[in-house]
Structures are given as structure tokens and as C-alpha cells.
Structure 1
């Protein structure tokens, strides 16, 4: 789903829905796992469905607050779409082509905006923006991606670890977005969704010994991630939220999604003195330590820069190209 501005070119959607990985990536019958992995505990997924319900409920609340019919006489963009829905009807398509609320409503209810976060110290917007969506199309695309990606991860690793990755990745995406985008407000769960993709990649790397078809799993994930990041250079797509969420999720995967190595799993039913293998490899320990250091440092530096009013573009003259590359067909004005 391409992202567009809503009102006076001020709203940036923090998400284009990532394509889903192959349907057998995180199932016990997956060819990517060795035979021993089929005995892993399978968790019942309830957190991801609850997140979906919460996002849908939040969108309904936003539309009730928006109340397009009440304000349509004050606007010149046209009539509300879906008038039979009453106060749930959508803004005119010229204002919001995704069938959703106005930018002013999103801003009032917690959209990410540099001035509000930095000048007014409204840090809660770093979290609230993750639960807002610019329209029905935006919401459906994100929630479908979350279901396909998140449920598999939750079944394999449980709700606690997936929940931590989802929220911290979303916040990481919000921090990087606010550091680099000054002129637009931003909404969407893209940071959290890209965090789940990043965690899937680091989980594959740190648990390399338990995969049977390593190359296929790695190539599949890398292609999915590169395609989505490439789409982020289009205008009105908040690729900084994508990148920030992906980096946070990638590091969190090394910390939270570690599995015992295959040779240990083969012997885990034997007495300790007969196992002869360490539960984790030295590389898993090294990745865990480095990832924890980078996570803490990254969040600390990002938050300090943000609340000191720093502009990320002043420290990186080319970084704005990561979110939008100007061409003869469009311009970029996110800085």
C-alpha cells in the first residue's frame, strides 16, 4: 500500500504492510527446522489477536471523535464518504484517500509530531502513534501483516517475548522517525511490524544450527526486508520508522529468541554429565552481549538527542534519502 499525505501534506503513514514470509516458515512441520525442533513447545497465540482487536477498536474510537458529518460544512474538500455510517463516515477522498479521519483528529488523539514531542514534552506520542491508523486500507494492510507474521512468532516463542519485541520496536521506530522528520505527523504500526521481521532474521542467524534449509530461509527473509525498505524511499512513506523498528527488532531477536544449539537438543534428555555439549554456542553469547549494549546505547542516545531538540539531518546530510528520493515526478519535504 503506497502512503500518501492526508491534509495539507502533513500526514506520513508509518506503514506499508510488509509481504508475508512463506506460510511454512514458523510451523513445526517447516522444512527450515531440524527434526528435533518439532518437539518444541507450541504456544497458543492470543496476544497478536488482542493487538488486532485493540487496533480496530482504536480506529472506531478515532472515527467517532472525527465525526465527519458534523464538520463537513466547515471543509471545502467535498462530502463525507459513506454518509450512511453517520459519525463513522470517512473524510472526503481528496483529503484522505484511505477512507479514514482527518489529520487534525489524528494529531489530537496522539499522532507522532516533532513539535508536540520535543517542545510540549508529550513523550507518550512515541507509543500512541503505533495504535493509530490513517484509514481502513492502512489498518487492514497492517493487521493482515501482523496476523501472518506475529502469530507464527508467538506460537514459537510465546506472548511475552513477542509483545516486548513489538512494543520496543514500535518505540524505536518512533524515535528515529521523530529525529529525522520535522514537517509531518506520522501514524501506523510499521516500526513494530518491521521489528518482528528484524527479529525473525536475527532468530535465524543466532539459531543457525537448528535449521535444515538455512539458505532458503535466509534468502527469503532478506528479499522480503529489502523490498519493503526499498518501497520506503517513495514519498509520504516513513521509512525511518521502518528502519528504526527493524534495527530494534533485529537486536532484540538476538537477546530474546535464542534457542539451544542442535547438538545440545539431541542430548538434553541425557544426564548432565553425559551431554558433553554447551547449551548455547559462544557466538550466541557474544551476539547477546553486543545486542544488549547496542540496544541500551541506541535508545539512550536517541532519547537524549530527541528531547534536546536535535535534528538528525544535521548530523547526517544524506540520511534523508533513506526515506525519500526526489525525482522529476515528486519532491520530498519531510525534513
Structure 2
């Protein structure tokens, strides 16, 4: 410490789970009229900047999503409700036909029954809980594995650094924000998945890097790496059958929440607190430093205001039944870009059905295809599944 030849505090700018190590140091002899025994000086080589948390909430989220998928497949009961199934040896846990659900999962009617995001039911039947329940459901095995792998890798790291309360709130609120934007733009199909919440964690990582800029050693490298990861993931969202609006809504929500939840005190304040704790008795410290830098406080206030505007405004527009596509004619390209290889048609699938004896005749309303199935007393679930295959 400046002004004290016998005590020093060195602060390393590199982040991590640093600890304090007392180390003895030789002090040059000081001439004095009366030799007195001097205490052994201590150098605190590193400061324990931040508490490290044991991650348990993110693994619990992963388990909850897997359990919900298993329950969904049990209720789906493909052998009973469909003409054909994939992996029939799994019994009622077998998957819908690949043409109906290429992700290896349940039917859309089962997902809707379990709480998928259906805009018409949110607006006209006041089932707003679907904005939350949809983030715990997944369309298939591939969908579940991709999201849970990302959640485990990103979420564990964040929970270790910031604790379960802040990361849990960041995850849930970001998922809610993703559902709002998805509902404003995608109103003809149901939507499920934890992707919005997962992108919220990515957005939180980016804002955490910005608001805590001074504590990073390799700032530019960390920023570029994170931006590349985010851009790649958002680019995947322009493929068909991927709800990129949930990704964007979750990312923006998490980005703003990161400024609020993931703010760190500046190192000058941290080192001063350590100095106060270990300073010799009667030693006078310099004027106290603020806990947060000015730019951190400004970003915190701006983010809080924007969050309030976004969530209140989005909910008001959604509950009024506003279709955001009417206000933005090009925004649908953010979720799907049509090419020669695929179409971005999101119109709901419907078929005209006629049962004659044991013959079921189906005609797809969108493409005009007609097919006859040998099926006696077909249920509505079976007709809907066959219609989905015929219209694809």
C-alpha cells in the first residue's frame, strides 16, 4: 500500500476463484534511534474477489426438462393414437412418424395439451400461463439434447459465478420474454422449447462482459468469441421449423437483464475493503471509492427502463391480439429465409376427411394431395397425424 513500506496489497486483474495467501517478506533495515522489533509484513498476493457457488439449479432445470419430455411422450402414446410409430419397441414412449415430427418426438396435439404456446388460446381463452409452460416442453429428442447441452455448458459456468438466484431469474424471465416476441410474430403454429431462455443466458454473458469490462484481462478476445457464438446460433434460426423470434426475444431480454443482475463491484472498491480488513491498527486509509463505476450505474438504469418498456408493451400488444407482422412486412425473414431447398410456409395444416367403412379418405387443404388409408373408426388424433404427414 502506498505510503506504508511494511504492508502491500497486490490485486491481479485476472478473474477466477482467487484466494488470499499470507507470505513473509524481507524488509530492508530502517535506521532508528531505538531499535524495536517490527512485525513481520504480509503481502496479500491475490484477493478472493467473488464467491464461488455450487451449481445445483441448472442441473435441476436439465432434469426437469428431461422429466417433462418423458411425461409428454407417455401421454402421447403413439401406438394408440397413430397409425405408425418410430421405435415401436418403446411402447407408448415411441415417436411419431418421421414425416409428422422429424425431431423424434410427440404429436403437436399432445404438445398443445401439455401447455405449448398457442397464441389464440393465450389471447382469447386467457391462458397466459402458456408463455411459461412452453419453455419446459420440447418437440423431440434432437431438440431436447441440443438445448440441454447448451444449458448445461453455459448455465453451470454462470451459476458458479453469480449464484442460483440471479441465474434462475435470468433464465425464467428471458424465456418469458422469448415467448412474448414469438407470440407477437408466429400466430399460426404452436411453439415449444427452452431456446429463448438459453439465448437469454447468452445475452446475459454479453452484457456481463460489457458492464464488468475493467475486470477482464483479454477483453477483445472474450468479446469476439462470444459475439461469434451468438451470431452462429442466431443464423441457425433462419432455418424452417425453428422459432428464431423466441431466440431473439430471449436474447434481448437476457442482454438487458445482465446489466441488472450480473453487475460486479469495481476492483478499487474490492481491494479497499480488503485493505480495511487487514490494515494495521490506527492506520489511516485514503478516501473511500464508490462500489460501482459511473458507466455501470448508467447502464443499470437504462437497462431497467428498457426492460420495463419491453415487457409491459409486449404484453399489452399481445393481449390486444396485435399481429406484429402487419407492422413489419419483412420481419418474418428473421425467423425463416425461403430457398429452393425449403419453404417457409407456416399456415396450419388441415385436411378434408371422409370415412367410408374401413376406408379413410384425406385431402390436404394446402397442397391438394389426396390419399386413402385403411382405418376403421379413426380418432381425431389419428386423422391429425395423417394430415400432418400428407401436407408436408
Indicate the RMSD between aligned Cα atoms, in angstroms: 1.9
User: How many angstroms apart in 2 are the aligned matches of 1:37 and 1:217?
Assistant: 22
Corresponding residue for residue 214 of structure 1: 219
Corresponding residue for residue 188 of structure 2: 183
Greater mean alpha carbon deviation, residues 213-222 or residues 267-276: 267-276
Corresponding residue for residue 15 of structure 1: none
1:328 paired to 2:340: yes
The structure showing larger relative contact order (alpha-carbon pairs under 8 Å, at least 6 residues apart) is: 1
User: How many angstroms apart in 2 are the aligned matches of 1:126 and 1:334?
Assistant: 20
For residue 276 of structure 1, report the CA deviation from its aligned partner: 3.7
For residue 235 of structure 1, report the CA deviation from its aligned partner: 1.5
Counterpart secondary structure, 1:305? helix
Q: For the pair shown, which has the larger CA radius of gyration, 1 or 2?
A: 2
User: How many angstroms apart in 2 are the aligned matches of 1:37 and 1:298?
Assistant: 39
For residue 312 of structure 1, report the CA deviation from its aligned partner: 0.6
Counterpart secondary structure, 2:286? helix
1:286 paired to 2:298: yes
> Which of 253, 259, 278 lines up with 1:254 in the alignment?
259
Alignment of 1:128-277 (within 5 A): 128-271=133-276, 274=286, 276-277=288-289
> Which of 66, 74, 81 lines up with 1:64 in the alignment?
74
When the two structures are superposed, what TM-score results if normalisation uses the length of structure 2?
0.74
Corresponding residue for residue 328 of structure 2: 316
Conserved 8 A contact 1:196-1:246: yes
Greater share of residues in helix: 1
Counterpart secondary structure, 1:202? helix
For residue 226 of structure 1, report the CA deviation from its aligned partner: 0.8
Counterpart secondary structure, 1:187? coil
User: How many angstroms apart in 1 are the aligned matches of 2:255 and 2:312?
Assistant: 17
When the two structures are superposed, what TM-score results if normalisation uses the length of structure 1?
0.86
Greater share of residues in strand: 2
User: How many angstroms apart in 2 are the aligned matches of 1:294 and 1:209?
Assistant: 24
Q: 1:263 to 1:135 in 2, by over 3 A?
A: same
Across the two proteins, how many residue pairs are aligned to each other? 301
Conserved 8 A contact 1:36-1:265: no
For residue 37 of structure 1, report the CA deviation from its aligned partner: 7.1
1:303 paired to 2:308: no
Cα distance per residue 1:86-119 (max 9 Å; x no partner) = 1111112221122211111001111111111112
User: How many angstroms apart in 2 are the aligned matches of 1:127 and 1:92?
Assistant: 28
Counterpart secondary structure, 2:191? strand
For residue 136 of structure 1, report the CA deviation from its aligned partner: 1.2
Conserved 8 A contact 2:15-2:216: no
For residue 220 of structure 1, report the CA deviation from its aligned partner: 0.5
> Which of 118, 125, 131 lines up with 1:126 in the alignment?
131
Corresponding residue for residue 111 of structure 1: 116
Q: 1:257 to 1:36 in 2, by over 3 A?
A: farther
Counterpart secondary structure, 1:271? helix
Unaligned runs of 5+ in 1: 1-24, 30-34
Conserved 8 A contact 1:68-1:80: yes
1:90 paired to 2:95: yes
User: How many angstroms apart in 2 are the aligned matches of 1:120 and 1:264?
Assistant: 52
